[in-house]
Chain A
Amino acid sequence: MQLWLIPILPLAGFLINGLFGRRFSKGLVNTFAIGSVVLAFLWVLKTLWGLGALPGTYAEHYFTWIQSGALSIGADFSVDRLTAVMLLVVTGIGSLIHVYSIGYMAHEGGYYRFFAFLNLFMFFMLTLVLAANYLVVFVGWEGVGLCSYLLIGFYFDKKFATDAGNKAFIVNRIGDFGFSLAMFLIFRQFGSFDFAHVFAQVPAAPVGLLTLIGILLMFGACGKSAQIPLYIWLPDAMAGPTPVSALIHAATMVTAGVYMTARSWVIYTHAPIAMDVIAYIGIATAFVAATIGLAQNDIKKVFAYSTVSQLGYMFLGVGCGAFSAGIYHLMTHAFFKALLFLGSGAVIHSLAGEQDMRKMGGLRTRIPWTFWVMLCASLAISGFPLTAGYWSKDAILLAAAHRAPWLYWAGTFTAGLTAFYVFRAFFMTFFGRYRGEEKHPHESPPVMLAPLVVLAALSLAGGYLFKVPDFLRSIFPAAEVPEEFSLMAVASAAGLLGIALAYLMYVARPGIPDSIASGAKGLYALIYNKYFVDEIYDAAVVKPVVNGSRVLLWKGADVGLIDGIVNGIGARAKGVGGVLRLVQSGNARSYATWVALGGVLVIVLMIAGGLR
């Protein structure tokens, strides 16, 4: 089926734009960048069409990548139903966001660079999704991390952007450390990286080791998918252009962790403790991030914390054994969160770069299209009945209720919080009085609005149209729980309550938030400052490392030991050279004589060693 064509197309786009894009016109850059991604999307469709119902796994082997003793790693791609969902999400949403970027990036510098990086990201993400063994996953995993770093720091002339890029990269390294350890353990235990091979042997493996592998994999996923304790990079990552936030930091890359844990479901089903860890991390992240989201004023920050929170939901689903629910939420989240980001991008675009919600307001009449699509997205994320978010969130909450009631209640409460902060942002942006400085907020061009409308439709109807759990039933174990109407009603009610509260506080009675903030000063400060996590990390991890490096490694080991050795060698060499310098007279004929002498010596040695 030529699966390799799927990632190679964006790679070709990257190479063409990266190498020659500087000389291209914007239209030409667009053609290659978007054309390659759309072609990849179409090729995905054709491939899936050709594969039909896809009952099992379809694999392709291209070449043996690494061959070393017992280790044999092929460049293998495979497609099953899980991969199919991911492929459609990545290429579909990716195509829409590429199109959107034409309008959004129209007036930015480094146009070709942006699209080249975006294409490169698509290549690595598709590699990650298509991979048939952990090592190829890891290639994609690292590659998307690299692209994330490059695109967060896209405005490399701004220090906060480059700092954010570095932070994302370094925090991801910590997670990758866990992933690497997990891979070492997998190879040690199973002697292979191939999914099929590993998963077939899992039932026979010791549970303790599986738990360790599971937790380490989850640690890697924490880095990539911004879970506690490694979520801190994602809010900062909003320094990148908004399409990047939508594509990489909302819809696709950050869900790679969810995908990876779901892909490794066999390991987790045999390691219940690891499952619990995932569930607890998921719910904790969901709750903490949602509370932080309550007090943010930067529209993109709100959605960033919202992403962290929603990812927590997905992990909650995975941790509760409802892998398909997690993937389901992954997909719907990709729809509405991409839409939220792109919509907020449209807002920011219309306000000439303003991101502070306190300087917005009343935009409903001025940018009506954006208003309507944002409403769709906000409803979807709040779990408004029959929207996309409603289906997937309920699937997760049902699984949680099945697992442990308190998980369900915490999740439901978080859902209420989610609805509240999302609509807080929505109302602050579109209702009330316009508080901004930009005189003429303008509607975005059609090329930006068209993807928004498509995504809005998906946000409303996508959950119903694409019943992922049904589609994935053949892959994941039957963790089905009977749909309990009461639980669904409560969850939906929590969402509606959140919306109502937000309406009350930010539209009907705009004075309330300030009075709450002044009433519960300590709590507000805690939330507003994101629980001081960055500061704690700084004091607990970053400072000791920096100081230790400076005092011990630099002054001690580097200057004292290594430089000492190097300088010592240099001094000896200089001494010897001082003697040999006499030979180096700078006279070519002397050199020639020495060469001839050397030739004579060689012949003498040959004769001394015996001819032939």
Chain B
Amino acid sequence: MDVIIFLVFALIAVVAAINVVVQRHPISSAISLVAVMGSLAVLYLLLGAEFIAAAQVIVYAGAIMVLFVFVIMLLNAGGETKAGRSITASLLGVPVLVALLALLAFFTARIYPPDTEVRFGGFRGGTAAAVGRALFTTYLLPFEITSILILIAIVGAIVLARKELE
């Protein structure tokens, strides 16, 4: 059952991720990315990270990606134009990517032998209570700093996006 769930959602994630890359119009990419995020949320649940799964859906899919969709709709700029001038990217891109994937896979295979296994319910430390407790004790300082970061981001976004005052 776990394996089936994993395979189904991993497949969705990979297909959707490919779709993100190959779709010509950004809105299709955005929707595919939402699909990736949704399936990842399921995988998070499988790994016992229920709070993160919920946050993934609410924050990533529900807020960040909505923002993307919103901007895409607002600009309504249409599909991608073919005006590529990057010789480096076209020459080096594919080999580099293949190498990257191969190396990462090699790494994973070397470090994590197949006997380490995941089953649903194998980790129960990912509840909202556990995450919250860690967040407000051990990681209080980073947490507070991120609040400042967010504030800065808000101010920055407003300054960037507002109309110039004469």
Contacts and interface: CB of A to CB of B under 8 A. Distances in A.
Interface stretch (B40-48, B90-98, B115-123, B152-160): B90-98
Interface of B: 84-89, 92-93, 96-97, 99-100, 103-104, 106-107, 110-111
Interface string A587-612: 10110111011011001100100010
A600 B88 CA distance: 16
B138 to A, nearest CB: 26
A585 B88 contact: yes
Contacts of B86: 585, 587, 589-590, 593
B100 A600 contact: yes
Contacts, number: 45
A600 B103 contact: yes
Given A587-B89, A600-B96, 19 more contacts: A587-B86, A589-B84, A589-B86, A589-B89, A590-B86, A590-B87, A590-B89, A593-B92, A593-B93, A596-B96, A597-B92, A603-B100, A603-B104, A603-B107, A604-B103, A607-B107, A611-B107, A611-B110, A611-B111
B89 A600 contact: no
A593 B103 contact: no
Interface in A487-505: none
Contacts of B99: 600
Question: What are the 9 closest A-B residue pairs judged by CB atoms, nearest first?
Answer: A590-B88, A589-B89, A589-B86, A603-B103, A587-B86, A590-B86, A600-B99, A593-B89, A596-B96
B11 to A, nearest CB: 25
B21 to A, nearest CB: 13
B100 A587 contact: no
Nearest to A588: B86
A298 B153 CA distance: 64
Contacts of A596: 93, 96-97, 100
B158 to A, nearest CB: 25
A interface secondary structure, majority: helix
Nearest to B104: A603
Contacts of A590: 86-89
Point out which of B84, B88, B107 has the most chain A C-beta atoms below 10 A from its C-beta: B88
A587 B89 CA distance: 9
A48 to B, nearest CB: 47
Contacts of B92: 593-594, 597
A603 B93 CA distance: 17
A287 B153 CA distance: 72
Interface in A539-598: 585, 587, 589-590, 592-594, 596-597
Contact of B88 (A587, A603, A607, A611): A587
Contacts of A592: 89
Contacts of A589: 84, 86, 88-89
A588 to B, nearest CB: 8
Nearest to B97: A596
Contacts of A593: 86, 88-89, 92-93, 96
A611 B107 CA distance: 9
Contacts of A604: 103
B100 A599 contact: yes
A553 to B, nearest CB: 47
Contacts of B89: 587, 589-590, 592-593
A24 to B, nearest CB: 31
Nearest to B100: A600
A200 B135 CA distance: 58
A474 B106 CA distance: 85
12 contacts: A587-B85, A587-B89, A589-B86, A592-B89, A593-B92, A594-B88, A596-B96, A596-B97, A596-B100, A600-B96, A603-B107, A604-B103
Contacts of B110: 611
